[in-house]
Amino acid sequence: MSHAPLSPEGVVLRRAALIAAFSMLLGLGVPVAEFVLRPMLIIPANIEQTIRNIGADPGLFAALIFAYFIAFVADVVVAWALYFLLAPVNPALSMLTSLFRLVYAVLALGALLNLATVFRALRSPESLANLGSEQLNAQVVILLNSFSWQWGLGLTLFGVHLVMLGHLVYRSGYIPRPVGLALVLAGLGYLVYYVQPYLYPDGRLPFFVLTITGLGELVFLLWLLLRGWKIPEPTRSRETIQHPTQER
């Protein structure tokens, strides 16, 4: 009889793979927020127009916040599932890899509070009365920039997570090695792109570089969706299941 492999904690690896995959699908809320909703509202060079856009469609701004929120919370579930998926390779390293993603999610959720503050400030008549239009505009600029910078700092940890994840995948034996290499490349892309402003403030890589390297995440997601439920049982697990009395 064939059985799915188990992690040291007894979680079926196939189930961990599918949980990770479907949680990562929720993470697609980030590109929707970044490339669809955000450009409709936020004009970086025109804060007055940005405030008018948000004031004219607060529901769209709330949807933007909600899309980020769902994606960042989903990262917590992904971190948990990936630990079980790769614990058979190296439990300690798998735990550390998941912790990096968990810390990233916490930082991202903290950064998101800046957008929530913008929403509350622009929906509150007292804000304009107490601050005045110029101070309110300056406050909104600071909050929007704080979200971007704090989230970007968290993404450096996400890059470390991907490099470590790629290493574990490469060594796993039950996930193709090219998937692991693609994840390492994706992680290096995040690290170079988001660390560069701190090391070289006057220069920055074009965003398309991150887009290309980030395809490694998509490769991993597609493999989990298409092949994750077919992860073969390691020989060690089969022997343990078929001959449970050998150690007696």
Cα–Cα distance for residue pair 96/82, rounded to 1 Å: 11
> Using an 8 Å Cβ cutoff, are 205 and 188 in contact?
no
> Residue 152: inside a domain, yes or no?
yes
Model confidence pLDDT, tens digit, residues 168-178: 999 999 999 99
Model confidence pLDDT, tens digit, residues 194-208: 888 777 666 666 667
Q: What's the rounded mean pLDDT across residues 155-184? A: 96
Tell me the helix, strand and coil percentages in the chain, rounded to 5: 80, 0, 20
> Residue 246: inside a domain, yes or no?
no
Whether 244 has a pLDDT exceeding 70, the answer reads no
Range of the domain at 168: 13-233
Instruction: State the average pLDDT for the chain.
Output: 86
> Residue 5: inside a domain, yes or no?
no
> Residue 6: inside a domain, yes or no?
no
> Residue 215: inside a domain, yes or no?
yes
> Residue 98: inside a domain, yes or no?
yes
Residue 79 has a pLDDT of 97
> Residue 202: inside a domain, yes or no?
yes
> Using an 8 Å Cβ cutoff, are 187 and 166 in contact?
yes
pTM beyond 0.95, yes or no: no
- Side chain identity, residue 196: Q
Residue that is written with structure tokens 């406050």 in the block: 139
> Using an 8 Å Cβ cutoff, are 221 and 21 in contact?
yes
Whether 8 has a pLDDT exceeding 90, the answer reads no
> Residue 124: inside a domain, yes or no?
yes
> Using an 8 Å Cβ cutoff, are 231 and 174 in contact?
yes
Cα–Cα distance for residue pair 72/94, rounded to 1 Å: 20
Domain count, the chain: 1
Cα–Cα distance for residue pair 161/189, rounded to 1 Å: 12
